[in-house]
Amino acid sequence: MTIVNRPSRVVSLLGGSINPPANPCRHRAPRSVAGWTGEPGTVGRAVVVGAGKMGLPLAVQFARHGWNVTAVDVNPDVVAAINEGLSHVAEEPGLADGVAEVHAAGRLHATTDAAAAVRETDVAVLIVPVMLDDAQNPDYRYMDSAVDSISGGIHPGLTIIFETTLPVGDTRGRFAPRLEAASGLKADGDFFVAFSPERLYSGAVFANLSTYPKLVGGIGPESGRRAAEFYDSVLDAEIVAMSCAEAAEFSKIADTTYRDVNIALANDFARYADRVGVDIQEVIDGANSQPYSHIHQPGIGVGGHCIPVYPHLLLSRAPDLEVVAVSRRTNDAQVGIAIKTLESLLGGLDETPILVLGVTYRDGVKELAYSRALPLIERLSFHGADVSAYDPLLADEDIDRCCATPYHWGEPAPFRAIVTQTADKLWNELDFSLFPKLEVILDGRNSLREIELPADVRYAGIGVQAQTRRRPASGPVAR
């Protein structure tokens, strides 16, 4: 037997999601019909309400499969760009080409008039944000507005699908009655309503659409059938027709809440690893070599539209779910732990120049939603630190709005500490000769655990210590 000091095969989410192979497209040329009713092999007219980072790729996906698609957005600049065949979302691979392709084919255009668009369509997909208010309860302002905007166009035979993640029961209990009241028509009789959660990851949307099973649940049998048939006509992945809208709603919240709970557990493990002096990455690799273990990665916190938000959608209806609530608090507390670590290593933060690397919630995605850089910068400043920040996706004015001084990559500076808030590969190219006063690297994503540091610079990771962070590559142990 060969003995190795690292497992040869480890399941890890460090740096991105795990992507199974994409499904090939097996759709035949569709038959276009007026008044689409869900007959297999047919296509009609579709509307996507919300032409953002997820909505615009969906519009392209639908149009590529023969549907005549109208993208609806409240931003006239977004509408104008789409109508010129241009994508306003720059970071999504393949999106710019996709918009140009389907626009040139005459199957994609855009408008700000949702009611007019819906009046002429067969299927309307709504994908606008439901975020959190100051009390951590669902903030419906955008979704309520989107629902009201289409009300004037509701007509018999229309299928309405919600892709935005919602609290369990909202499709049936909040939005279907609102649509009925506005239109005077009966849901699941005159028109049809379903929920089908987006399961997409910025930077890999088109791959996800051809890979992940599509969950669909209606408020009644015909609503579920039509929604499932629609997705079967536009996606190459498996379509999962669930028993009801509530099952589909709960599945999405369960998926994202599981990840939040798992990350919280990893963060707890990281705290204990620091206490006993072992490298948490070695521990996770070892544990995950057993196929029943799938421990996620610890870090400085959890950001983005999804994982920090959706557990609260669950807690808003079931506040007694203790594991969910504790996990949210655990992950939010990571910034505070980072601050205490810096205070300890530096002997205080007052008037200390510190550089935060990575301001967006994740490297490669130009989005600040719930980014942990924001409370990190705020807390550092509160403790008297002189905070600078850099992110390759953001301009100086973006950094200014985050209440930090913009740092320009490659310039010398008197920073005493550098904190990485994302795992951008660019950080591996840091030139430490530019920072002669540097004392500490706080590696908030454990992405620099093997970087070479000057002898007088101390390293602190999340469950990774200076004395344990460098380990030899996997291979046989010499005897």
What confidence tier does 291 reach under pLDDT thresholds 50, 70, 90? Answer: confident
Expressed in angstroms, the distance from the first to the final Cα of the chain is 12
Residue of 271 and 24 predicted with greater confidence: 271
Above 50 in pLDDT, residue 326?
A: yes
Above 80 in pLDDT, residue 9?
A: no
Across 144-148, average pLDDT: 98
**Kind and range of the H or E element at 313?**
helix 310-315
234: its two tokens = 């536009």
What confidence tier does 166 reach under pLDDT thresholds 50, 70, 90? Answer: very high
Residue 132, strand partner residues:
138
Residue 227 CA to residue 239 CA, distance in Å, equals: 10
Residue 437 CA to residue 358 CA, distance in Å, equals: 21
Nearest to 112 by CA among 72, 147, 80: 72
Residue range 334-460 forms a domain whose CATH class is alpha beta
Determine if residue 63 is left, alpha or beta; phi over 0 gives left, psi from -120 to 50 gives alpha, anything else beta. alpha
Above 70 in pLDDT, residue 15?
A: no
Across 359-370, average pLDDT: 93
- Angle between helix axes 334-346 and 322-332 (nearest 10 degrees) is 30
Q: Are 44 and 82 in contact (CB under 8 A)?
A: no
Q: What is the model's pLDDT at position 13?
A: 47
CATH topology of domain 31-252: Rossmann fold (3.40.50)
Q: Share the mean pLDDT of the chain.
A: 93
Residue 27 CA to residue 449 CA, distance in Å, equals: 46
Residue 416 CA to residue 281 CA, distance in Å, equals: 26
Residue of 438 and 305 predicted with greater confidence: 438
Q: What is the model's pLDDT at position 210?
A: 93
Q: What is the model's pLDDT at position 24?
A: 87
Q: What is the DSSP letter of 92?
A: S
Across 57-83, average pLDDT: 98
Q: What is the model's pLDDT at position 91?
A: 86
Percent of the chain with pLDDT over 70: 94
Lowest mean pLDDT among 218-227, 291-300, 416-425: 291-300
Q: What is the model's pLDDT at position 2?
A: 44
Percent of the chain with pLDDT over 90: 87
Helix extents (H) in 22-86:
55-64, 76-83
Above 70 in pLDDT, residue 4?
A: no
- For the stretch 201-224, pLDDT in tens is 888 999 999 998 999 999 999 999
Secondary structure (3-state) at 193: strand
Could you count the other beta carbons within 10 Å of the beta carbon of residue 376?
Answer: 29
Q: Are 336 and 301 in contact (CB under 8 A)?
A: no
What lies within 8 Å, CB to CB, of 37 at 6+ separation is: 157, 226
Across 138-155, average pLDDT: 97
Residue of 475 and 56 predicted with greater confidence: 56
Q: What is the model's pLDDT at position 174?
A: 98
Domain boundaries of the chain, sorted by first residue: 31-252, 334-460
pTM across the whole model: 0.91
Across 430-453, average pLDDT: 96
What confidence tier does 478 reach under pLDDT thresholds 50, 70, 90? Answer: very low
- Angle between helix axes 176-183 and 141-151 (nearest 10 degrees) is 30
Above 70 in pLDDT, residue 3?
A: no
Q: What is the model's pLDDT at position 7?
A: 61
Give CA separation, 351 vs 201, 294, 357, 370, 383, in Å: 39, 42, 19, 27, 9
Above 60 in pLDDT, residue 477?
A: no
Residue of 342 and 19 predicted with greater confidence: 342
Residue 59 CA to residue 105 CA, distance in Å, equals: 13
Determine if residue 38 is left, alpha or beta; phi over 0 gives left, psi from -120 to 50 gives alpha, anything else beta. left
Q: What is the model's pLDDT at position 280?
A: 96
Rounded to 5°, the CA angle 135-139-141 comes to 140
Lowest mean pLDDT among 65-69, 97-101, 154-158, 235-239: 235-239
What confidence tier does 312 reach under pLDDT thresholds 50, 70, 90? Answer: very high
- For the stretch 244-272, pLDDT in tens is 999 999 999 999 999 999 999 999 999 99
